[in-house]
Structure 1
Amino acid sequence: MSHLSPHPPKVAVVWRGDAQARAEARPETSRFAAIFTALERHGLAGEPAVWVKGLADVVRAQLMAVDAVLVWVNPVTEDTGEGRDALDTVLREVAAAGILVSAHPDVINRIGTKEVLYRTRGMPWGTDTYLYGSHAALATEFPRRVAAGPRVLKRSRGNGGIGVWKVERAMGPDVLVQEARDRRLRTVPLHAFLTERTSDFSAGGTLVDQPFQVRHLEGMVRCYVSGTRVAGFGAQHVTALASPEHGRAPPRLYSGPDDGRFQRLRDLLERDWIPEMANLLRLEPDDLPVIWDADFLLGRKNAAGEDSYVLCEINASSVYPIPDEAHDALAATTLRRLAETRARWSAGHA
């Protein structure tokens, strides 16, 4: 950062595209137009930085010339299967140069994969969750767990329901399997389904195993968070693992952080759960992304008749769209972190 510069701090907004998309990218015509507008309202100069894998050196040079980098790139693209390894290498280099990167790839690895469900299983939002680090462990341990009731298996990385299966015992050696991506139901021998999962462990992949939540049809609450503060909510009925007669879920409905329906959940997150998670994962509060979200299903009611909440995933790599109120929240968090960085730099050079 140019700490003595009179110009507004420059913030690169990164998303995935091709060379043509990069050449034609404009703040006002991109799908992130509202984010660019919010950055401007907070005195920040946003600029598009479309990630093109074959242009890594060009993108690196652009990012090295800004003060902050905000990233919206999914871990895997459904059409090409392209991952984020090359981009993450660039982002680590940029962060090592003292430039704010959100979300940093190392932070995504801690909170933005399904393994966070296992690492935080002892928290109030947790449940009896297991992590399989090898196919041998899955083949040995999963049969007895699914025999006790329906389970949900999740690949450590994925989006859009890819790599999420509900599994429950059927007749004899068979299980009924439903994949969240297409909701297709099929009955197969358990050993055959487990054999299919062999490829999920390639390149260091893992599978997370949770009990199926019987209240899932009552809806899911997505909590949008900027740093450590809730910035809004998204409420949605979920049918991805429901029987086909329930139809497709309606669109998610967004609301601001003061939505009265979710104030108890907001309080639990801000006061207790986010600090506990950060401590468990050895993260500082300012390590958390300027925008991320946590999805909750309803668990058992407590003795007072209040709902409990079960975490089903955290998204940290490509959280968009977001509630209207969250645009200014993420811009304010970015500005605050840049100001604190500038203050530390000034103090160190006084």
Structure 2
Amino acid sequence: MFSATSRVFSKAGVRSFSTAASAARPRALVGAAAAAVGIAAGYTGYANECLKIEIDDATAKKLLAALSTAAPAAKGPRYNELMPSPADPAAKVCVVEFNIPGAKNGGTDKGPNGHRIDSLPIANGVIKAGGACEIIKYYDTKHAEFAKLVMSMKYDALIVRINPGQLSQKTLPGTQERFDTLMNEFISKGGIVWSSPDVQTKMGAKDALVKIANMGCGLRDTLAYYTAEELITGFKKTCAFQPRVIKQNRGSAGEGIWLCWLCSGKYCKTYGEKSLTDGEYLKLMEMNDNHIEYHTVGEFLEFCINGPDNKAKAGNWSSVFPGKYLDGGKAAGGQLVDQRLLPRISEGEVRILMAGDTCQKIIHKKPTGGGLSAVGGNSEYTYYEPSDPKYADLLAKLMKDIPQLMKVLDLDGQPLPLIWTADYIPKDPEFARTDGVDTEYVVGEFNCSCVGISPFQAVCGGEKTLADVPDADYYDASELTDLMGVKAIAMIKAHKAK
């Protein structure tokens, strides 16, 4: 083996992708074209073992070009329509959707048939696992009719595939509240909702990071602010001690998440020894687009509390988002979380993709363009199997935390989300370790609100349907939806057995 560019190929295609400068002289290789043909041919018959090769960058590009034209091995039939449910199902499930009135396809997450592209595979996953599943629409103008159907309790569980905010777009006033109330009534009658309003709110809220601070996946020095007084007092102490990350509760693309460094003076040696004054300067980076601003402590706090309008107090801001992060108070989601800035965030984040209590994929998201944020189009992705030793310590800690996770988040008695993610940030170990582990990880965010299945959703919003998803992407993503079906049936059975 030699140190060079590495590509890992597996049953579902390119699983991981990393580059490193070669310091050693590459071994003699067979001609690139011959190697490409040989690997491509071997790939189609390859079934069990992962083939790992280390080669120079130019040859790797030729190999990838050859592989891109090689047809993947057959993985069984495709199901581009809803499969028939079994006559004697293990459980009865329903996927719930919503179409935004007047929007093309019903929304940018839909195809021309009005369905989310991933709804059919999710429903089919349940059916493959032995359950019955159908897809129904919620209409804000037909709430009573929908409520009657749901509360007939003909379904054991509802899988809600409605993006956050959609029930407030061009709908009757109070639609989201009526829908959430109905979901809670269904749960009170013994049904399961993935994910319930409570789970979405409490697991997705930034102050979940405070609740998990003392778990294996948490960061101990994590604070939450719900009032202006708490923010002013707390932030002036924490940022006097070390660089911080301030996170608003709303939004999901890095907006309102600020990295904060002290520009004037030095950090104090112990926490609480010093509090910043309003006139001291900060360097700030917003994580939605990695832009940098310089403001005084007083200007930053004014922006967080009241927004940028009063320029005499807030100064001039480049951020396109309005601040006012505490608006509405705790009940309305107004809050800020304050965490230690982990400098190794420059290495990227690690997303753990979960189906219930099972990890389906590990995704490393590395920032591009010199920034520190890996959201949106600012990142490169590398995919790993759950068994990869690179993240064994991270995953072991998460698995140890999971049995207590819902209780810690004040969700005791609720099932884990059917599909959810945990985004981790790398850091040096808190204490010296003797097991060879030199990187630990802490959760920066949970997401369980209609998590999209990217290979399917990549074709949504226009005229393409599930049938237009390439075979390799279809079979790869179906591994997740099939697992979701298995976990759904298992969780329903466990719920009934209580």
Taking structure 1 as the reference length, the TM-score comes to 0.82
Pick the aligned partner of 2:328 from 194, 197, 203.
Answer: 203
Q: Residue type matched to 1:250 in 2?
A: S
Q: Residue type matched to 1:332 in 2?
A: V
Asked if residue 218 in structure 1 is aligned to residue 343 in structure 2, the reply is no
The aligned residue for residue 440 of structure 2 is 308
Tell me which structure has the larger Cα radius of gyration. 2
The aligned residue for residue 126 of structure 2 is 39
Asked if residue 333 in structure 1 is aligned to residue 465 in structure 2, the reply is no
Confirm or deny: 8 A CA contact 2:243 2:260 kept in the other structure: yes
Confirm or deny: 8 A CA contact 1:181 1:240 kept in the other structure: no
Query: d(CA) in 1 for partners of 2:222 and 2:297?
Result: 20
The aligned residue for residue 449 of structure 2 is 317
Which is worse superposed, 226-235 or 318-327? Answer: 318-327
Q: Residue type matched to 2:215 in 1?
A: M
The aligned residue for residue 101 of structure 1 is 193
Cα deviation, 1:122-143, whole Å, max 9, x if unaligned, reads: 1233221111010111012212
Pick the aligned partner of 2:243 from 128, 132, 150.
Answer: 150
Q: Residue type matched to 1:137 in 2?
A: E
Superposed CA RMSD in Å reads 3.3
Query: d(CA) in 1 for partners of 2:116 and 2:420?
Result: 24
Cα deviation, 1:117-172, whole Å, max 9, x if unaligned, reads: 00111123322111101011101221221122221111223212132111222346
Asked if residue 70 in structure 1 is aligned to residue 190 in structure 2, the reply is no
Q: CA deviation at 1:32?
A: 2.9
Which is worse superposed, 118-127 or 316-325? Answer: 316-325
Confirm or deny: 8 A CA contact 1:36 1:46 kept in the other structure: yes
Query: d(CA) in 2 for partners of 1:154 and 1:218?
Result: 20
Confirm or deny: 8 A CA contact 1:49 1:62 kept in the other structure: no
Specify the SS of the correspondent of 1:124.
Answer: coil
Query: d(CA) in 2 for partners of 1:139 and 1:81?
Result: 38
Change (3 A) 1:196 1:282: closer
Q: Residue type matched to 1:201 in 2?
A: L
Pick the aligned partner of 1:233 from 362, 366, 384.
Answer: 362
Specify the SS of the correspondent of 1:252.
Answer: strand
Asked if residue 184 in structure 1 is aligned to residue 291 in structure 2, the reply is yes
Change (3 A) 1:297 1:195: same
Change (3 A) 1:25 1:98: farther
Q: CA deviation at 1:37?
A: 2.5
Specify the SS of the correspondent of 2:290.
Answer: coil
The aligned residue for residue 120 of structure 1 is 212
Confirm or deny: 8 A CA contact 1:14 1:48 kept in the other structure: yes
The aligned residue for residue 18 of structure 1 is 100
The aligned residue for residue 268 of structure 1 is 397
Q: Number of paired residues? A: 336
- Percent identity reads 26
Query: d(CA) in 1 for partners of 2:327 and 2:214?
Result: 28
Q: CA deviation at 1:114?
A: 1.0
Cα deviation, 1:96-115, whole Å, max 9, x if unaligned, reads: 23221111222233322111
Taking structure 2 as the reference length, the TM-score comes to 0.60
Q: CA deviation at 1:248?
A: 5.5
Query: d(CA) in 1 for partners of 2:428 and 2:416?
Result: 29
Confirm or deny: 8 A CA contact 2:217 2:397 kept in the other structure: no
The aligned residue for residue 173 of structure 1 is 280
Specify the SS of the correspondent of 1:175.
Answer: strand
Change (3 A) 1:189 1:341: closer
Change (3 A) 1:126 1:261: same
The aligned residue for residue 347 of structure 1 is none
Which is worse superposed, 274-283 or 291-300? Answer: 274-283
Q: CA deviation at 1:208?
A: 0.5
Asked if residue 138 in structure 1 is aligned to residue 238 in structure 2, the reply is no
Specify the SS of the correspondent of 2:326.
Answer: helix
